Amino acid sequence: MSNRNKVYWKGLEQLKNDPEYVKYAEKEFPDYLPINGNKQSADSSDEGSSRRDFLKMMGFSVAAASLAACEAPVRKAIPYLNKPVEIDPGVANYYASTYTQGGDYCSIVIKTREGRPIKIEGNKQCKLTAGGVSAQVEASVLSLYDQQRLTAPMASGQKSDWQTIDQQIKSALASSRNIRIVSQSILSPTTKKVINDFINRYPGTKHVVYDPQSSYGMVSANQQNFGKAVLPAYDFSKAEVIVSLDADFLGTWIAPVSYIKQYARRRKLSGSRKSMSRHYHFESNMSLTGSNADYRVPVKASQQGLIAAAVYNGLAAKSGAASLSVGQLEVPFLDKAVDALWSAKGKSLVVSGSNDPEVQMVVNAINDLLGNYGTTIDLEKPVNYRQGNDQEMSQFVDDVTGGRVDAVIFYNANPVYDHPQGGLLGTELEKVALKVSTSDRMDETASVCDFVAPDHHYLESWNDSEPQNGHISLTQPGITPLFNTRQVQASLLTWAGAPQTDYYKYLTETWKSVYFPGSGENDFETFWNQSLYNGVVEIATSSVQEPENSPEEDSSEETAGISFDPGMVSGQIQARYQSDNAETELVLYQKVGIGTGAQANNPWLQELPDPITKAVWDNYITVSQKFARENGLTMTEGKTKMANLTVNGVTVTAPILIQPGQANGTIGLALGYGRTSAGRVADGLGANAFALVDRSNGSLSYQITSGVTLEITSESHSIGQTQTHETYMGRETVIQEALLSEYQQDEYAGQFAPKIATWKGDEEKVAPHTVTLWKHHQDEYVNHHWGMSIDLNSCVGCGACTIACQAENNIPVVGRDEVLTRREMHWLRIDRYYSSVGVDDYSSLEQAAENPEVTFQPMMCQHCNNAPCETVCPVAATTHSTEGLNQMAYNRCIGTRYCANNCPYKVRRFNWFKYHDNDQFPENSSMNNTLGRMVLNPDVTVRARGVMEKCTMCVQRIQAGKLTAKQEGRRPTDSDVNTACASACPADAIVFGDMNNPESKIAKTLQIDYHEDRKEVAEPRAYTVLQELNVDPNIFYLRKIRNKDEENA
Amino acid sequence: MFATLRPVGCHLLPILVFFFLSLTSVRAQSDSTGTEVASDTSTVETATSQGGISDEAVIAEGESLFNANCRVCHAVDQQLVGPALAGVYDRRDMDWIKSFVKNSQAVIASGDDYAVSLYEDYNQTAMPSFNFSDTEVESIIAYVRAEAEKEPEVTAAAGDTPGVSSQATEGPSNFLTVIIVGLVIVLALILVVLFLIINFLTKFLEKREGLDSADREIIAQKFSLGKLVKKPAFVGIVAFVFGIFVLKSVIDGLYQVGIQQGYAPKQPIAFSHKLHAGQYEIDCNYCHTGVRKSKSANIPSANICMNCHGQILTESPEIQKIYAAIENDQPIEWVRVHNLPDLAYFNHAQHVAVGGQECQTCHGEIQEMEVVEQYAPLTMGWCINCHKETNVNTKGNAYYDNLVELHAQHSKEPLKVEDIGGLECAKCHY
């Protein structure tokens, strides 16, 4: 938008116009021929292969081809011996189930083909996630087929059998007095019942719960304020003003899928609703949530407590409550946020990502002042996502060290890796006589255990879960267990000598006695089957008997108002926080893809570009632009230096990444990396930051404000970053945006309507589409006209669509080296643009990088009606369909790459290598081993080397949906056809459908007007990218609207 | 004299032409005999089925009931799971039949001797109960009676027909061989005779005085192969013909790469479609369960075989292989006959359930195949051709209503598959 003098840039190199960036940018297609296949020496000036080599290769290929053609191989068709009635080869079955990973929850639908889960979809029946999924949930189907999973129980590192280890474990347990079960948060009430049974059998047992990313501070704050040790349920969709203090609720904080769903509802605009929520964000690292905020303020971690107190004091002054006596600090937009909150009393929400109980108490007090309890915050039906107790876990480590533990069972827990005291635990565990892990692999904890009783993958398990009180959902298996594994619950029941060791039966019996009586159904079978079918059940009250000491114990008590003692809290805050900390501060965070590292061995997640940095396969120390300048650091095309980061005596080594928006004086580092025993994909990637977590205050703190030293070494490193890879050659109108106030006055605000000159001269410029050599394809679209709309206003950039696309379309993983040479294969990328106002000279560059605005734009094949790629293909391998699709016939493609050169959106991907059945790409585990290949979608071709590929608009789903409709003798509707990206989107930002169908969601979103001879998109916010080229895409974007005031824009 | 010598070679040509013509006509004749025989059989059938029937409608009703309910276990003249039904109306009275059909267990339980012995004879397999009305049972029996009565005649006719048709089918080949051998012998004799004549005449001319030098030269001329071969024109022609031949075979060969038309591999179990689909007319859907709902028609699983072969032909070594597979928990590894490349997507449901195509369109006369062979070339050209020629099965399918209407506005031709994008890449390649 030139009128505001706003500059869009993808990375610092572009902002600074770095020569190397320019070199690549001008080359546009910066690949070189990989004839030698030598990835390392590729950019050195080696001779390459000679003409003679080429002739040799040619001769050999011809001979090989003719030999191969002589006889067709005999292929076998092997039918079932006894075909299960519900399976028809070639027809997908869907099962409602539940994804849980510790306290992370998502209600899902498993798509299976011939009994193999191949794709995860969201479950629309669930009120919490409402059909949304996250990248981690989507990718979990590949973890099922992880080669590193244990195939049998292990005893002392050797394969054993269940009978043997059961016997040994039982006898060891019988002689143990102090037994500990260590687990992450357990959402399943029936599993808790199993643990209770175990405790009843072995009364010396204590259940210790911890979370790799702890929310214990919040739980204890609620305990002190309300007498309830719980996490409240939030409803962002009811909040008109949201203030977040470093809570990355759209990315990784507690339950992002639900929160995105709620948040996005208030970010949708239409002619009938022209208001949206306003979001203030105060944080140190640039997070996904911060990048979506209307006002993002970089602050130091050491200021968080004071900011919370300042907000409280501001509101207290307005309401007349007692204020906190803490130091003052100057933070931009803080007063504005306070005013906004006060004017939206009862319709606002303040959240904090801090794990400091004092800060959380202040936040509770703020929300109480605002009257948000009962509207945007629900304490009556708390959520169970995080139940970890930092103190108990700490006590456990002490007990182990002190030799006070005889036996320990780890369930879904890997504390040696993901607890700050993991290193200590790893060495001290040998003092425990019996150590049993139930990990699915030989992870860091399992390798120091005597026995490993491997658990099923969740897609092989029966279970239930209660993410929020009264909301129960069922996990049902999508496949029979692949290996000789056993569900932990069955193991615990066996070791406890329970009469019923079959967990499925145990589960149904529990449901029969607990949930069925209140369900109103007459017949348990009907109730059970209906619950399984829906995947979720809403019940009036949680009637499961909780184990004693459980946080839910007190949930039945009445909320008796907040008990908040300003004096005590201000003392603590004053002691811990300061406005002018001179030391470097470290803020540890999670990446959207890797999280706490539980699924680190999943190559899809490793290659998912981080939403902000767009870096893959690494963690790194994010530093501010100012820090970089002071230390003489530069970073171009991912080339950077390594640094040693020392926190209170613990040193980790990681590369430096200069991050615009990073608060000065702070640095960031992601958790979840540095696995040593997760498997082939994850081992050795990045550095383990868990050891740096601070635990001096009783609860774990991910913000370390003192004792941090950063020492830059001379060692070089390259970080694979995807964002600068595809360039639009300086065409900056790809992003269109406006302010809410402008939009309210003019729905077309921010529109870029290019005009082009004609022979009549400059005065009579016309719209590009009026001057064209193309015959209009649209006339041919009599049957269907598929189209897509992407709302830039509600897209938060979470990356679920990218992984959904990867799973649906058999997209290979290429590995870090290939990403460094710009050969990532994702069909759907999310472009992240920074923007800043008023960059016109070098002096303003740094300011621009201080705190840029961020825009996310999912970018895939635009299915242009006048597609430039189609005209240049010499073999007509890419053509246009009569349904508006730009089709790609792989078997016709000869790999000239003309199409990719001519594509203005740079969305075409070339298969530089054979990525399947190729030992050189071990990372690509979904195509390079027989186990991994089970995840491939049998309806989509695995592409060969040397062909182009790109988004097909999930044509296999379109065809399947049309067929369903034809078989039923009707026209297809929205429920028949949806693309993988649109169905995965937790924000419902992507809408796909048939634009010829006036009833479709896409027609309503784009407000299509149907004229006699043409259709017209009437939604004022809709635009197509690079309209001036008149390629006429079928993908529409809805302009981004920022809820900012004019003077701050 | 010169003139008298030439025609010898010229006469050879018409003889050869005649030879080929006669060959083709013989082939044509034998084909037409085949069809005649076939049409004869059909007339025989219609004639018999018209004779001796009182009520067509009752029999027709009985036939549909029989096919829907009884055929799985009973045949008219053959013992399957249950006994052959021909003559049942003579063996038992109508009331017994009715009560047995309606509830066989009750009849057996009542201690009826015949029923009990029947139950024992057939491995204690109880016949399920059918909720038929009396008239329905009567119509079934009427149908069985009609079938049984025409059966002997038809079998007789059928007994004749295979004989004739086998003659007709094998006829051409035997007949042709005889003719060809005969003709070759005749030609050889002619050649020998001609050669003798030439020899005789040459000798005669040599002895004769008074020929001029030119004529003598001709007589003395020896046929020399060597000279002919060395002639550039000859070499040129031969090289050209050879070149064309090689080129043609290379092109043909290349076009055949990957095409397995006629591919009829030996299967691990000698399953006969001719017997099951042809003779017993078992519906294709019965075994190929996916054909109307899935992209793959499905090779039947062993449990489908066991629906019938739990009772039928249990001693057969081929059937024993199925039992072995089930016992060893080892699925049967059939050899795949139709190998569509992975890059092409084909959906049976689309073609059969929506398009209304017959199996035979692509699979040939499968009901005649003892061993399944690939009938169609399965090339893209073949697919495309069909999509160009085939009318879309739009009747009664609301999906197509608007398309038909729009198509009718600018064309009088019926809606073809190509008119709705049936030739586009992404319909089959993704």
- CA–CA separation, A963 and B110 (whole Å): 54
- CA–CA separation, B212 and B219 (whole Å): 11
Q: Is residue B263 part of a domain?
A: no
- CA–CA separation, A203 and A181 (whole Å): 12
Same domain, A425 and A349: no
Same domain, A759 and A817: yes
pLDDT tens across B295-307, in order?
A: 999 899 998 898 8
Same domain, A309 and A199: no
Give the SS3 label for residue A495: helix
Q: Is residue B267 part of a domain?
A: no
Q: Is residue B99 part of a domain?
A: yes
pLDDT class of A564 with cuts at 50, 70, 90 = confident
Q: Is residue B261 part of a domain?
A: no
Contacts of B332 in chain A (CB under 8 A): 78-79, 81
Rounded to the nearest 5 percent, the helix, strand and coil shares of chain B are 65, 0, 35
- Other Cβ atoms within 10 Å of A33 Cβ, number: 9
Q: Is residue A574 part of a domain?
A: no
Q: What is the pLDDT of residue A572?
A: 86
Is residue A814 predicted with pLDDT exceeding 90? yes
Is residue B12 predicted with pLDDT exceeding 80? no
Same domain, B215 and B232: no
Check if B294 contacts A (Cβ < 8 Å): yes
Q: Which residues pair with A667 in a beta bridge?
A: A586
pLDDT class of A409 with cuts at 50, 70, 90 = very high
Which candidate from A72, A79, A82 shows the least CB-CB separation from B298?
A: A79
Is residue A749 predicted with pLDDT exceeding 90? no
Exposed (0-12), middle (13-18) or buried (19+): which is A981, by Cβ within 10 Å? buried
Is residue B238 predicted with pLDDT exceeding 70? yes
Q: Is residue B265 part of a domain?
A: no
pLDDT class of A560 with cuts at 50, 70, 90 = low
CATH number, position A814: 3.30.70.20
Q: Which of A549, A574, A597 is the last residue of a domain?
A: A549
- CA–CA separation, A530 and A801 (whole Å): 30
> Is B334 in contact with A79 (Cβ distance < 8 A)?
yes
- Other Cβ atoms within 10 Å of B281 Cβ, number: 10
The average pLDDT across A921-943 equals: 91
The average pLDDT across B224-236 equals: 82
- CA–CA separation, A218 and A362 (whole Å): 11
Q: What is the pLDDT of residue B130?
A: 77
Q: Which of A383, A409, A443 is the last residue of a domain?
A: A383
pLDDT tens across A862-881, in order?
A: 999 999 999 999 999 999 99
Q: Which residue of B293, B323, B332, B425 to mutate against A (max A Cβ within 10 Å)?
A: B425
Average pLDDT, chain A: 87
Measured between CA atoms, how close is A950 to chain B, in angstroms? 11
> Is A885 in contact with B421 (Cβ distance < 8 A)?
no
The average pLDDT across B68-81 equals: 77
Q: What is the pLDDT of residue A32?
A: 53
> Whats the size of chain B, residue-wise?
430
Same domain, A249 and A364: yes
Q: Is residue A556 part of a domain?
A: no
More confident residue, B98 or A952: A952
> Is A80 in contact with B301 (Cβ distance < 8 A)?
yes
Q: What is the pLDDT of residue B13?
A: 42
Same domain, B279 and B371: yes
Could you tell me where the DSSP H helices lie in A453-497?
Answer: 488-495
> Is A83 in contact with B303 (Cβ distance < 8 A)?
yes
| Least confidently predicted of A39-48, A462-471, A614-623, B78-87 | A39-48
Which value does ipTM take for this structure? 0.85
Q: Are A805 and A826 in contact (CB under 8 A)?
A: yes
Same domain, B32 and B159: yes
Same domain, A542 and A640: no
Q: Which residue has the tokens 């409240």?
A: A232
Q: Is residue A82 part of a domain?
A: no
Same domain, B92 and B183: yes
Contacts of A80 in chain B (CB under 8 A): 301-303, 331
More confident residue, A19 or A170: A170
Is residue A18 predicted with pLDDT exceeding 70? no
- Other Cβ atoms within 10 Å of A394 Cβ, number: 19
Contacts of A882 in chain B (CB under 8 A): 420-421, 424
Q: What is the pLDDT of residue B22?
A: 45
Q: Which amino acid is at B66?
A: F
Domain total for chain A? 4
Is residue B24 predicted with pLDDT exceeding 90? no
**What is the Cα Rg of chain B in Å?**
34
> Is B397 in contact with A881 (Cβ distance < 8 A)?
no
Same domain, B165 and B194: yes
**What is the Cα Rg of chain A in Å?**
29
> Is B294 in contact with A782 (Cβ distance < 8 A)?
no
Is residue A738 predicted with pLDDT exceeding 80? yes
Torsions phi, psi for B277 (to 5 deg): -85, -35
pLDDT tens across B358-415, in order?
A: 999 999 999 999 999 999 988 899 999 999 999 999 888 999 998 998 899 888 889 9
Measured between CA atoms, how close is B195 to chain A, in angstroms? 47
Q: Is residue B266 part of a domain?
A: no
pLDDT class of A554 with cuts at 50, 70, 90 = very low
Same domain, A430 and A374: no
Q: How far apart are the first and last CA of chain B?
A: 78
- CA–CA separation, A720 and A475 (whole Å): 37
> CA torsion, points A443, A446, A448, A449, in degrees to nearest 10?
180
pLDDT class of A1000 with cuts at 50, 70, 90 = very high
Q: Is residue A83 part of a domain?
A: no
Those residues with Cβ within 8 angstroms of residue B185's Cβ, 6 or more apart along the chain or in another chain: none
Domain total for chain B? 3
Cα–Cα distances (Å) from A890 to A947, B168, B342, in that order, read 6, 49, 11
Domain of A923, in residue numbers: 2-20+726-1047
pLDDT class of A773 with cuts at 50, 70, 90 = confident
More confident residue, A17 or A692: A692
Q: Are A351 and A363 in contact (CB under 8 A)?
A: yes
pLDDT class of B164 with cuts at 50, 70, 90 = very low
Those residues with Cβ within 8 angstroms of residue A454's Cβ, 6 or more apart along the chain or in another chain: A149, A150, A152, A153, A154, A438, A439, A440, A441, A483, A485, A486
Measured between CA atoms, how close is A921 to chain B, in angstroms? 22
Same domain, A396 and A367: no
Q: What is the pLDDT of residue B155?
A: 42
Domain of B44, in residue numbers: 1-219
Q: Is residue A398 part of a domain?
A: yes
> What secondary structure letter does DSSP report for A157?
T
The average pLDDT across B49-69 equals: 70
Q: Where are the beta strands (DSSP E) in A534-686?
A: 536-538, 585-589, 615-616, 621-623, 639-647, 650-658, 666-670
CATH number, position B105: 1.10.760.10
Q: Which of A359, A383, A407 is the last residue of a domain?
A: A383
Measured between CA atoms, how close is A144 to chain B, in angstroms? 25
Check if B216 contacts A (Cβ < 8 Å): no
CATH number, position A700: 2.40.40.20
Is residue B168 predicted with pLDDT exceeding 80? no
Contacts of B252 in chain A (CB under 8 A): none
A963: left (phi over 0), alpha (psi -120 to 50) or beta: alpha
Same domain, A696 and A765: no
CATH number, position A371: 3.40.228.10
> What secondary structure letter does DSSP report for B48?
H
Q: Is residue B351 part of a domain?
A: yes
With CA atoms as reference, report the closest residue to A805 among A148, A135, A200: A135
Same domain, B197 and B244: no
Q: Is residue A345 part of a domain?
A: yes
Measured between CA atoms, how close is A779 to chain B, in angstroms? 12
| Least confidently predicted of A362-376, A777-791, A1029-1043 | A777-791
Same domain, B42 and B84: yes
Is residue A954 predicted with pLDDT exceeding 60? yes
Pairing of strands A451-452, A179-183: unpaired
Task: Give the percent of chain B with pLDDT over 90.
Answer: 30
- CA–CA separation, A619 and A684 (whole Å): 11
Same domain, B199 and B246: no
- Other Cβ atoms within 10 Å of B394 Cβ, number: 16
> Is A83 in contact with B345 (Cβ distance < 8 A)?
no
Tokens of B108: 């057996």
Tokens of B313: 């032909």
Same domain, A948 and A817: yes
Same domain, B65 and B164: yes
Q: Which amino acid is at B393?
A: N
The average pLDDT across A347-361 equals: 92
Q: Is residue A427 part of a domain?
A: yes
Q: Is residue B264 part of a domain?
A: no
Same domain, B59 and B171: yes
- CA–CA separation, A573 and B272 (whole Å): 86
pLDDT class of B172 with cuts at 50, 70, 90 = low
DSSP A137-151: HHHHHHHHT-TTS-S
Is residue A325 predicted with pLDDT exceeding 60? yes
Same domain, A207 and A249: no
Task: Give the percent of chain A with pLDDT over 70.
Answer: 90
- Other Cβ atoms within 10 Å of B95 Cβ, number: 9
Q: Is residue A684 part of a domain?
A: yes
DSSP A400-425: HHTT--SEEEEES--HHHHSTTHHHH
Q: Which amino acid is at A746?
A: D
Same domain, A494 and A415: yes
Q: Are A610 and A677 in contact (CB under 8 A)?
A: no
Same domain, B172 and B237: no
Measured between CA atoms, how close is A872 to chain B, in angstroms? 17
Q: What is the pLDDT of residue A43?
A: 44
Same domain, B212 and B240: no
Same domain, A717 and A734: no
